[in-house]
Structure 1
Amino acid sequence: RLVNSNIDVFITFHSTADVAEGGTSKSLKQLLPELRSAARIFVHSVSDLVNLKAFGLIANTSLFPHGVKTDIVTSAEGSAFDQIRGKTIISSYGFLLPHKGIRNLIHAFGNVAGRHPDAHLLLVNAEYPVDVSIQETVLCRRLIQELSLSDRVTLITDFLEDTESLAWLSLSTCVVFPYEHTQESSSAAVRWGLTTGKPVYCTPLPIFDDVRDVVEFLPSTDVKGIEDGLCAMLSDHQASREQLSGRQQEWLKDHDWRHLSNRLKNLLQSHAMNKRGI
């Protein structure tokens, strides 16, 4: 209806993969007539661009980065922060859902904690208002108790303002994203990790392809792979930070939403001018 009303439609997809839901397969191929009429379709990864081109969507598809907010001012002041300040802090961030791999991270941390008495695990993982997330919170808290890690793990499941989340993450030695397999093509959470300027470690999955130049990859998604990655980080975290810091700062500058919004504005203005024959 928008196109018929002479309104240009611009679409951004965070994933173009087919989805199986309730025994039914859903694919963007089912929407090809509508997608062909879009003025422009933006995706964040090369694999998604390839998918769309395989559908025959060639002329109106483009890569456009997933941005990051870099101008948030934080202050990690107060007794809550002081309880873990000065420790070697391994943190994670994002909604607490099964595919985020937080239980594997807890297991891996439990395996290395005895060798690194100053290490602390900080989980800033908000509970999402769905049953599966509520259950994941229960399982994580139970696992922390079973592994006798209550004094070595801080689990924050409240939904915090961005400033408070980043204040917690600013205490980190490194930030870990131990995701299991997912059909998503880009992660918003990992961008918050990069905003801290601390080394970021990710499991080797396509969702992190668009940040591969500024993160370190863990050997695998399982507990052993995460454990091995943590051991390597704990033995040489200063060197890791020095190697990554310059690349991260350049990446943050290029992916700042203020920069990307100007880029998008110019693209939209150019499209409008071409349409009017200017």
Structure 2
Amino acid sequence: MKNETNKIINVAFLGTYLPRECGLATFTHDLAHELGMLGDFSPPRVIAVNNNAVYAYGKDVARSFEQENKSEYARIAYELNRSDIDLLVIQHEFGIYGGECGEYVLELAKRLTIPFIVIFHTVLTAPNPAQLRIVSLLGEWSDRSVTMAQSTVADLHHIYGIPADKIRMHHHGVPRLSAESRDTLKSRYGYAGRQIVSTFGFLSPGKGIEYAIEAMSGVASRHPDALYVVWGKTHPVVKQEVGEVYRRQLADQVDRLGLNEHVRFVDKLLTQEEVVHSLVLSDIYMTPYLGREQAVSGTLAYGVGYGRVIVSTPYRYATEMLGDGRGLLADFRDAKSLETQLLDILDHPDKKLQMERKTAELGRRMMWDQIAKEYAALIRDVVGSSYPVQGSVV
């Protein structure tokens, strides 16, 4: 039998995984690590999806396969059904699985006889037919469907037809790391005496950094100590396709606007500790993204987790997370609007402090050790209510 009372629970994850440079890979790593720290879970195993690249995976990766190898999906389902795995967690994002819109993942899901849950990292309000079919079927076949924003719960039900009693919302987790004070970290990183506005994550045209840079012209004229720090390397896919075109365009823009003393680029893949440091030393965290549909942003979740005041464009996740006075929303593709919101915070230190307190209140509930306990309760519920399945232990 797959599971018995008080038995250690064996979980597997399907998705991308570190050291692949991918936000979803980091998410999988962090959630799997925290689950493995709980007493009734064995260290989760990972089935890693590759994109025609070779990765030096650690011992927690049980196997890996190429995303376009359709036959592998059926084979993995067969192996999982015969293994001692009690439940599979499918991380879903368009683009990481093979076939049209990643439809090959259905070849695996439809063959599973063990329970599985699916975590939807993207929930589109206007999916094309292929996207609609994939999400709908994963939701239909899964034991539970998870989203990371309250606003997308209704979408999964009304657009994709997933039964409401199957849908759960759990916040995007944030790593809990201790850090020195804001001023201490500013000194360590060479930013002493500056008011820091920051953005972190993979650099790509959809991030809208050009509008943030333009906004810094007006900000710097009123606050000469203001500095915008853009942390992160160019997205690997963007770099492979077009090189560093976008980064060079941004650097040229900084030169053209005479903002070399007010904009810095840190061109590297940040460690988890450096990500936390970049947030703690910041006075304002900014996400000037261009796409309204973005249902989840790991970088914004981190900003909330560490109690930063946030200025953002009104994409879906930002609109939800910055409610109740946790941040300010600027118009899309509008440097002047970003400038106005940045100045509102920098001109009013008391308002900034009040917003930080409100954001930190939510952020404390988003630490990975807390979020993992929520997932653990969900998994226990699913495993405990599932019919045992006969199978050989491998």
TM-score by length of 2: 0.63
- Contiguous gaps of at least 5 residues in structure 2: 1-76, 78-108, 389-394
* Partner residue of 1:109 out of 205, 216, 233: 216
Q: Deviations over 1:36-62 (max 9, x none)?
A: 111111012233222221232114222
Shift of residue 31 of structure 1? 5.2
Paired residue for 2:199? 92
Paired residue for 1:252? 363
- Contiguous gaps of at least 5 residues in structure 1: none
Task: Work out the CA distance in 2 between the residues paired with 1:125 and 1:163.
Answer: 13
Task: Work out the CA distance in 2 between the residues paired with 1:92 and 1:136.
Answer: 16
* Residues 168/275 of structure 1: CA separation in 2 closer, same or farther (3 Å cut): closer
Query: Is 1:66–2:178 an aligned residue pair?
Result: no
* Partner residue of 1:144 out of 242, 251, 254: 254
Structure 1 residues 17-32: aligned runs within 5 Å: 17=124, 26-30=130-134, 32=136
Give runs of ≥4 in structure 1 deviating > 4 Å.
1-5, 74-80
Paired residue for 1:271? 382
Query: Is 1:190–2:300 an aligned residue pair?
Result: yes
Paired residue for 1:153? 263
* Residues 107/8 of structure 1: CA separation in 2 closer, same or farther (3 Å cut): same
* Partner residue of 2:157 out of 53, 60, 72: 53
Question: Is the CA contact 1:93–1:193 (under 8 Å) kept in the aligned structure 2?
Answer: no
* Residues 165/65 of structure 1: CA separation in 2 closer, same or farther (3 Å cut): closer
Paired residue for 1:44? 148
* Residues 147/34 of structure 1: CA separation in 2 closer, same or farther (3 Å cut): closer
* Residues 271/116 of structure 1: CA separation in 2 closer, same or farther (3 Å cut): same
Question: Is the CA contact 2:197–2:284 (under 8 Å) kept in the aligned structure 1?
Answer: yes
Shift of residue 5 of structure 1? 4.5
* Residues 244/135 of structure 1: CA separation in 2 closer, same or farther (3 Å cut): same
Q: Deviations over 1:167-206 (max 9, x none)?
A: 2333222111111124320110012223443312222221
Tell me which of the two structures has the higher relative contact order, counting C-alpha pairs closer than 8 angstroms and 6 or more residues apart.
Answer: 1
Shift of residue 109 of structure 1? 0.3
Task: Work out the CA distance in 2 between the residues paired with 1:250 and 1:80.
Answer: 27
Query: Is 1:81–2:224 an aligned residue pair?
Result: no
Paired residue for 2:316? 206
Query: Is 1:177–2:273 an aligned residue pair?
Result: no
Q: Deviations over 1:84-126 (max 9, x none)?
A: 2111222222221112111100001012312221222212132
Q: Deviations over 1:114-153 (max 9, x none)?
A: 2221222212132112235722111111101111111221
* Residues 177/37 of structure 1: CA separation in 2 closer, same or farther (3 Å cut): same
Paired residue for 2:339? 227
Task: Work out the CA distance in 2 between the residues paired with 1:261 and 1:34.
Answer: 22
Paired residue for 1:13? 120
Question: Is the CA contact 2:186–2:192 (under 8 Å) kept in the aligned structure 1?
Answer: no
Question: Is the CA contact 1:3–1:9 (under 8 Å) kept in the aligned structure 2?
Answer: no
Question: Is the CA contact 1:112–1:231 (under 8 Å) kept in the aligned structure 2?
Answer: yes
* Residues 86/195 of structure 1: CA separation in 2 closer, same or farther (3 Å cut): farther
Q: Output the amino acid matched with 1:106.
A: I
Greater Cα offset, 66-75 or 219-228: 66-75
TM-score by length of 1: 0.86
* Residues 265/177 of structure 1: CA separation in 2 closer, same or farther (3 Å cut): same
Task: Work out the CA distance in 2 between the residues paired with 1:195 and 1:49.
Answer: 22
**What percentage of aligned pairs have identical amino acids?**
22
Question: Is the CA contact 1:74–1:166 (under 8 Å) kept in the aligned structure 2?
Answer: no
* Residues 26/141 of structure 1: CA separation in 2 closer, same or farther (3 Å cut): farther
Across the aligned residues of Structure 1 and Structure 2, the Cα RMSD in angstroms comes to 2.6
Shift of residue 25 of structure 1? 5.8
Shift of residue 165 of structure 1? 3.0
Shift of residue 77 of structure 1? 6.0
Matched residue SS, 1:89: strand
Matched residue SS, 1:114: helix
Question: Is the CA contact 2:115–2:382 (under 8 Å) kept in the aligned structure 1?
Answer: no
